[in-house]
Amino acid sequence: MLKVKEVKKTFNPGTINEKLALNNVNLNINAGEWVTVIGSNGAGKSTLLNVIAGVFPVDYGSIYIDGQSILHQPEHKRASYIGRVFQDPLMGTAASMTVIENLSLALKRGEKRKLIPGISRKDRHFFQEKLSQLGLGLEDRLSVKVGLLSGGQRQALTLLMATLKKPKLLLLDEHTAALDPKTGQRVVELTKEIIEKEKITTLMITHNLEQALKYGTRTIMMDEGQIVLDIKGQHRNNTSIQDLLALFEKASGKALNNDRVLLA
């Protein structure tokens, strides 16, 4: 489904701040796989997601989705088949617009925007049904400005918006990291429900090692711009957090260093 081939990316080349963010990354993800991504600060996790989404170009290599190269497409074109949820809950929604306006914008993801009313009556019911599945009471607050919602509500809404029109690929960049533990747990459960129900191919960065093993079907670990560990199936099921830490030390020759890493 997704094929990342020999991708390299250097930030600020030729300066004192030069940083090799992706160093020859190869990754093949099959349709329906849910890959959790872990790694130290600056390992290249977010950079990997951003080059797939088209936020910035790669220096070398290629990226294919369903066999088609996507590197020539700008970010907004790729958005027609890639759904994204960001770490910052404020980033995924328009604060001055209402819940129903945000959802209506998301329903037209990747389509041409026309001069017809942006909110249609028949969508209203569909949105209410989808919102009630979140269990946050948002179905009764369609006309409320999103800026008045809590961070958790906004993140759940962003998740819904990213999957309202089923994407080929869903990119989650530590989307629960900025939430309090309880809300974060709720959002990750919602994520699981939606991904498994819709069978969406997903790449999810997390700083929570327990989450990384508990959710998804495959886990990759990144270090210094490379994928140093890739486990799935029975092998993954038998892996504990301690194993993961040991594997990381063995693969990278140092201890896992992430100032936000959660072991449980």
Applying CB under 8 A, the residues found at the interface with other proteins are 53, 74-77, 79-80, 83-84, 86, 90-97, 101, 104-106, 108-111, 113-119, 161-162
3-state SS class at 194 = helix
Instruction: Choose between 74 and 253: whose C-beta lies nearer to other proteins.
Output: 74
Instruction: Choose between 101 and 223: whose C-beta lies nearer to other proteins.
Output: 101
Shortest distance (Å) from residue 102 CB to other proteins: 8
Instruction: Choose between 145 and 192: whose C-beta lies nearer to other proteins.
Output: 145
Cα separation, 261 vs 264, in Å, equals 9
- Contacts of residue 257, Cβ cutoff 8 Å, sequence gap at least 6: 40, 41
With beta carbons less than 8 A apart as the criterion, state whether 172 and 204 touch. Answer: yes
Cα separation, 212 vs 191, in Å, equals 13
Instruction: Choose between 9 and 84: whose C-beta lies nearer to other proteins.
Output: 84
The token duo for 249 is: 């030390």
Through-space distance between the first and last CA atoms of the chain, rounded to whole angstroms: 32
3-state SS class at 133 = helix
The token duo for 197 is: 């129900």
Instruction: Choose between 44 and 83: whose C-beta lies nearer to other proteins.
Output: 83
The token duo for 262 is: 């959660």
Shortest distance (Å) from residue 122 CB to other proteins: 15
Shortest distance (Å) from residue 171 CB to other proteins: 9
Shortest distance (Å) from residue 192 CB to other proteins: 22
Instruction: Centre a 10 Å sphere on the Cβ of residue 241 and count the other Cβ atoms it contains.
Output: 15
Instruction: Choose between 115 and 255: whose C-beta lies nearer to other proteins.
Output: 115
Shortest distance (Å) from residue 174 CB to other proteins: 16
Instruction: Choose between 76 and 214: whose C-beta lies nearer to other proteins.
Output: 76
Which burial class, exposed, middle or buried, applies to 258 when counting CB atoms under 10 A from its CB (0-12, 13-18, 19+)? middle
Cα separation, 171 vs 106, in Å, equals 15
Shortest distance (Å) from residue 167 CB to other proteins: 10
Going by the DSSP 8-state scheme, the letter that residue 180 receives in this structure is: -
With beta carbons less than 8 A apart as the criterion, state whether 63 and 9 touch. Answer: no
Shortest distance (Å) from residue 186 CB to other proteins: 22
